[in-house]
Structure 1
Amino acid sequence: MTTVTLQFFERRPNLPIAESWAPVDHDADSCAEIPLIGNVSAGLPIEACSDTASIHVPSSMIRRNTYALQVRGNSMIDCNIFDGDVIIIERQESAENGETAVVMINDQEVTLKKLYIEKNGVRLQPANTSMPPIYLRNSDIRVLGLVMGVARRAEMAA
């Protein structure tokens, strides 16, 4: 059985997300288990489904309602969130303008995007200039949580 070494990054407050990641020092004794409940699309939204796995993360990254999701896609690369990363999410039902959030669309699909509240609804903005934004009505979305950290395979973090 192969052991995968993860490197953890925590979001520092009051900085743009692309510049806010700080490495988290930890050892096995300072880790706790959180649920890894499935995948989130960083691209086109994917059908919501949940798995029942878990991941050990540094205790300092855990708040009240913390869970993890595996990222699939490249729409958030300019925020330093890559395909294969595991994002650490704090469950929340609202987001500030410009926050990076996990959003459910029409109670079916889940995606990871920057959320912007606009006059005619919401804009889900990828952090990848080659991908277009998604425009929806406020009633079409539900915020599931905000990105607070990233776990990345150590060989990918260099």
Structure 2
Amino acid sequence: MPSSSPQYLFRQPNLPIAEAWAPLDAADLEEQVEIPLLGRVSAGMPIEACLDADSIEVPTRMVRRNTYALRVNGNSMVDCNIFDGDVIIIERRESAENGETAVVMINDQEVTLKKFYIEKSGVRLQPANESMAPIFLHNSDIQVLGMVMGVVRQPDLAA
């Protein structure tokens, strides 16, 4: 069975993430650079953080100064057009604005991908899937690791 080439989706600025994805055109795909693929991130219940030492080639346009990739496990972000098996391109950051889609470490051991909201009582990590409940935590329990800037979708991996 021939494998299809990956689809590269680049996040356009100033749009809600569900509407922000634009496919890169052929010219953008010519120059590629290797970035670290550091492991998996849960789009569901948080999973234990464990680093891999792999890499993935992505178009140069998707890469900023502190960029890395994570493979998505789960379906909590489907309403943001991020699916199980996708590889997300992350820009390393230590803070997030309300409503941004962030990779967050919980209690220095578990990592999850959720929409980030600051509330009076702490932080709400909101799935982009109506069938899943948000996670409420104290500010001291979480650490923002980065923002989602792109998606690599492997058609032959999608369910």
TM-score by length of 2: 0.94
Task: For 2:50 and 2:155, locate their aligned partners in 1 and report how far apart those are by CA, in whole Å.
Answer: 27
Please name the residue that 1:13 is paired with. Answer: 13
Q: What RMSD in Å do the two structures reach over aligned CA positions?
A: 1.6
TM-score by length of 1: 0.94
Please name the residue that 2:25 is paired with. Answer: 25
Contact 1:26 1:58 survives alignment (8 Å): no
Task: For 1:39 and 1:85, locate their aligned partners in 2 and report how far apart those are by CA, in whole Å.
Answer: 10
Please name the residue that 2:74 is paired with. Answer: 73
Please name the residue that 2:141 is paired with. Answer: 140
CA deviation vs aligned residue, 1:95-149 (integer Å, no higher than 9, x gap): 0011000000000000000000000000000000000000000000000000000
3-state SS of paired residue (1:52): strand
Number of aligned residue pairs: give it: 156
Contact 1:115 1:124 survives alignment (8 Å): yes
Please name the residue that 1:54 is paired with. Answer: 55
3-state SS of paired residue (1:63): coil
Structure 2 gap segments, 5+ residues each: none
Q: Which moved more, 1:31-40 or 1:17-26?
A: 17-26
List, as ranges, runs of 4+ consecutive aligned residues in structure 1 with deviation greater than 6 Å.
Answer: none
Structure 2 counterpart of 1:55, which letter?
Answer: I
CA deviation vs aligned residue, 1:79-107 (integer Å, no higher than 9, x gap): 00000000000000000011000000000
